Structure 1
Amino acid sequence: MDNEVKTERLVVVSNRLPITLRRHKGRLVLSKASGGLITALQPLLKAQKGVWVGWPGTTDYTEEEIAPLIQKFEMEAGYRLVPIMLTKEEVSGYYDGFSNEIIWPLFHDLHSLCNFNPSYWKQYEAVNEKFARKVMEVSSPRDFLWIQDYHLILLAKKLKNLGFKEKLTFFLHIPFAPLDIFLKIPWRFDLLRAMLSYDFIGFQTMRDQRNFIHSVRTLLGDAAVKGSGNKTVCMTHDTQTQIGTFPISIDFREFTSKADRPEVLSECVKLKNSLSNRKMVFSLDRLDYTKGIPYRLEAIRTFLMKYPEYHGKVNFIQVVVPSRTEIPGYYELKQKIDRLVGEINSEYTTSGWIPIHYMFHPLTELQLVSFYRASDVCLVTPVKDGMNLVSKEFAAANIEEEGVLVLSEFAGSACQLKEACLLVNPYDRERMADAIYQALEMGETERRNRMKRLRKKIRDEDIYHWVESVFQSIGEEPGFSHPVAPEYIPAEVSPLDK
């Protein structure tokens, strides 16, 4: 990085450590977790002998039990892991409760699903305090501390109350709610003041940044906001915070390389043969109400009703990765998805053809990349998403450059990818059905041109570009502003109307 922040060591703090722990044949096994953030930060952590602080993701083991596995990981990875052990009560209140029953639905504009239980706030405060005390133990002067996501909004304030003097950077991976929704949270002032205790805040999109600034200006009487784009500064009587927009991405080259393997090509051939070489429309989602799966299924029903010429000629592959099914709302969502798939298949199935192939389980890496490469269309239609990396992974793995991306306007990635995909309102089943039809009917030249542009955009703005842009914006010369993708604003006349 040409303009890297001058620092002794990178210290990453997140809810979860970059590992998974499980029992296998009676033995406790530690595996490295996957993901773009981990991939991008590992070289920096290794080069600086850095530290990653977080919860191991389980309450089943003691720190002493996992210590040998942590030590082995550290020797191989070249950086230190600092586990923060949480009790079941803390996980219930801080993680399941405040983080995922309040912040998650609220920041995704689904405030009616929030459970504003006061006990959750107490646990959220207590666990952020627990993280702060551990960070104070392991950090040194001139460390670069980078705190990740909504679980740790209070961390900077807790650290500064303990006397921490170094700069603190925060990145919010999920959206930030607009003012009229943010107002509904009882702890709105506490959260805004806590966020402004950070020295630098990064958002996924300009819309999230604008929503945050609107809340600050409206609710905090001593706040003044100056500048624009990634040179925005918010000042209060005792804080000064630089604010910017940095859309996260994927390791484009890694995905492309995986898609180009012989075993992936072989799997693609098997997939197409199993579907009798019909057109393939692919969707992959974690089980969550923000992903818009029921709305998508209703759009598929509408497509099958409006375009009967595609009966027997297309298959919709819907993969749902299980998540939190022990929680009533998620279990009910799964039941709704099961019912809709059953209804649609029952109505339209003919001899030798079932329109929707539904899988409720994770895919292996080989299966995932093969579906991405083999699919003619990828439907990514969340009702709200901070970024949505499936849209980028699909393009990176679509190495023949023949696929079409149908993307929700409310996915953060729409800001970057809007000119090369088909954008839809996930609540509009008629337009979604028409977009599916347009994607399937699209000529080869247009498909290739769109996919080439998608792939170039994602290749140029990959996960390493994301890390570098954050570091540059923090350590940049005065007056420099990293380019920001403008937010997507729907046009009055949609291309689908032409």
Structure 2
Amino acid sequence: MGRLIVVSNRVALPRRGEPTAGGLAVALKDVLKSNGGLWFGWSGETTKGPTTGELKTVRYQGIDYATIDLNENDYKGFYAGYSNNILWPLFHFRIGLLEYDRKQADAYRRVNRDFAKALMPLLGPDDTIWIHDYQMIPLGAELRALGAKQRIGFFLHIPFPPWAVFSALPDADRLLRDLLAYDLVGVQTQRDLSGMIDSLRHGLDLRTDADCGVVSSAWGPKRRTQLSHHAIGIDTRAFATVARKSAFGPDAQRMRASMGDRKLIVGAERLDYTKGLPHRLRGFGALLDNFPEHLNKVTYFQVAARSRNEVASYRDLKRELDTLAGRINGDHAEFDWTPVRYVARAVARDTLAGFYRLADVGLVTPLRDGMNLVAKEYVAAQDPENPGVLVLSSFAGAAETMDGALLVNPLDAEAMAEQLHRALKMPLGERKERWAGMMAGLEEQTAARWAENFLNELEEQVLPVEPPAGLASAGAGIRN
């Protein structure tokens, strides 16, 4: 493989003294260093003038970074609009929250076209291009329209719904056609792979071989697109090391002192309606109602860092969480005990690692998730001699492989209360056995292994002799 070109919606230019990066960023940086490469994407900055594609570049620790700014209107249409008002709820099975606007759809296409125009002059003939996530789905087709012949892979980090859900999107077939510009399309789980195959079969006139995950388009030149699933992991050993150290840091010690001899349930997410945050509060409330032995014996600490404040549904969610937490505390608190500790701001990753290690229960209850790395981080952070218990939504991608978790349907508050009770009362021997099995899986399925496996599969794909035609950005002339 020649250079690796990684493309993501947002690229933070590195700075000395920057905070510890997450496992995904570390894995991508490692593979970029080993192959020599470029990380390309949006700078996170907006301008009042037009999106020009003017590059900001920097080289740091052997990796080249290149970013472009976006026009304010393009940002609103592409990112705040189409990506987060339309694609995000669609891919998370929340059709009722989908707010379609054709101008936003046009902005989504236009920004991907601008990305392609800015990236194309940077590419060498032997480069391998790896594009990430739902904001960038059409980018492969835009590059092909400009004549790109390189291997191009795409990885979707969020769930992929079946056609019964995906068909709610206006011009759904056009977005599906974009996937056929790639040599390899990856998703997190077998469930997501099945959803993608179902959408391609029913949404387009093409042939799919479900056994080997190959799609052959029925139009234009022959191109075979491989479909596969690759579960993302974390840098397990590094996170375990951080957790051990942080457990003796000042923040963890303050937490420990404030808890007394009470048990701790912990959850940490970005504020988002896909994470099941109101549902887990109801589940914790049901625990206190149905199992009064835990009154004044357990505290639930939830981090829900605010995000996307410009979206009305997120503001509504914040108000709902405020109300639920206040109600539980009002009903059950004592003068020396607050049942729910709720923090609506970001907490440093190292600090969270220490809290995870202290916690008796990790509560992770998304209504739908591609993977959910919080669940994996909680397990990696545990003390092998006294591990906590993971209570995990069956809708999380991580549930496919984390057999030691107590699975729960977050829509059933009573069932969640029962699983929380079971977790809090679980004997040490069973906790160790469950943790050991999950930890062995995490050490095998790391972020680095995920990146290596995907790129190896991408390199195995046979490219067509002639570059594909007919994948122009407007989609004109495409027929099934």
Q: 1:41 to 1:437 in 2, by over 3 A?
A: same
Structure 1 stretch displaced more, 255-264 or 444-453 = 255-264
Partner residue of 2:467? none
Partner residue of 1:488? none
CA contact (8 A) 1:20 1:32 kept: no
1:355-399 deviation line (CA, Å, top 9, x unaligned) = 111111111233211111100000000101111000001111113
CA contact (8 A) 2:47 2:69 kept: no
CA contact (8 A) 1:18 1:33 kept: no
Q: 1:14 aligns with which of 8, 19, 22?
A: 8
Q: 1:320 aligns with which of 304, 310, 326?
A: 304
Q: Name the SS of the counterpart of 1:352 in structure 2.
A: coil
Q: 1:422 to 1:288 in 2, by over 3 A?
A: same
Q: 1:48 to 1:61 in 2, by over 3 A?
A: farther
Superposed displacement of residue 318, structure 1? 0.9
Partner residue of 1:354? 338
Runs of at least 5 residues in structure 1 that lack an aligned partner in the other structure: 1-6, 22-28, 479-498
1:25-52 deviation line (CA, Å, top 9, x unaligned) = xxxx995782222101212212333111
Q: 2:194 aligns with which of 197, 203, 210?
A: 210
CA contact (8 A) 1:18 1:38 kept: no
Q: Name the SS of the counterpart of 2:397 in structure 1.
A: coil
Superposed displacement of residue 164, structure 1? 1.1
CA contact (8 A) 2:86 2:100 kept: yes
Q: Name the SS of the counterpart of 1:336 in structure 2.
A: helix
Partner residue of 2:160? 176
Q: 1:409 aligns with which of 389, 394, 418?
A: 394
Distance 1:144 1:18 in 2: 21
CA contact (8 A) 1:103 1:150 kept: yes
Superposed displacement of residue 106, structure 1? 0.5
Partner residue of 1:495? none
Q: 1:236 aligns with which of 192, 214, 217?
A: 217
Q: What code does the residue aligned with 2:391 have? A: V
1:407-464 deviation line (CA, Å, top 9, x unaligned) = 00011111110x2000000101110010000000100000111111111111110101
Q: 1:20 to 1:326 in 2, by over 3 A?
A: farther
Superposed displacement of residue 130, structure 1? 0.5
Superposed displacement of residue 166, structure 1? 1.3
Superposed displacement of residue 157, structure 1? 1.0
Distance 1:268 1:192 in 2: 47
Q: Name the SS of the counterpart of 2:45 in structure 1.
A: coil
Distance 2:102 2:188 in 1: 29
Distance 1:9 1:477 in 2: 17
Distance 2:17 2:397 in 1: 33
Alignment of 1:78-93 (within 5 A): 78-93=62-77
Q: 1:283 aligns with which of 267, 279, 296?
A: 267
CA contact (8 A) 2:183 2:458 kept: no
Alignment of 1:3-152 (within 5 A): 7-19=1-13, 31=18, 34-59=21-46, 70-71=57-58, 74=59, 76-152=60-136
Alignment of 1:458-473 (within 5 A): 458-473=442-457
Larger RCO: Structure 1 or Structure 2 (Cα < 8 Å, ≥ 6 residues apart)? 2
Superposed displacement of residue 67, structure 1? 8.0
Q: What code does the residue aligned with 1:225 have? A: T
Partner residue of 1:481? none
Q: 1:190 to 1:67 in 2, by over 3 A?
A: closer
Q: TM-score, normalised by structure 2?
A: 0.91
Runs of at least 5 residues in structure 2 that lack an aligned partner in the other structure: 463-480
Distance 2:368 2:267 in 1: 16
CA contact (8 A) 1:14 1:54 kept: yes
Partner residue of 2:437? 453
Moved over 6 A (4+): 61-64
Matched, 1:155 2:155: no
CA contact (8 A) 1:318 1:359 kept: yes
CA contact (8 A) 1:101 1:114 kept: yes
1:49-79 deviation line (CA, Å, top 9, x unaligned) = 3111100112169999x988x53xx1x3211
Distance 2:295 2:34 in 1: 56
Structure 1 vs Structure 2 CA RMSD: 2.2
Q: 1:210 to 1:392 in 2, by over 3 A?
A: same
Superposed displacement of residue 329, structure 1? 1.5
Distance 1:191 1:278 in 2: 51
CA contact (8 A) 2:246 2:252 kept: no
Partner residue of 1:364? 348
Q: 1:225 aligns with which of 196, 208, 216?
A: 208
Partner residue of 1:26? none
Q: TM-score, normalised by structure 1?
A: 0.87
Distance 1:18 1:460 in 2: 29
Q: Name the SS of the counterpart of 2:248 in structure 1.
A: helix
Q: 1:359 to 1:262 in 2, by over 3 A?
A: closer
Structure 1 stretch displaced more, 363-372 or 449-458 = 363-372
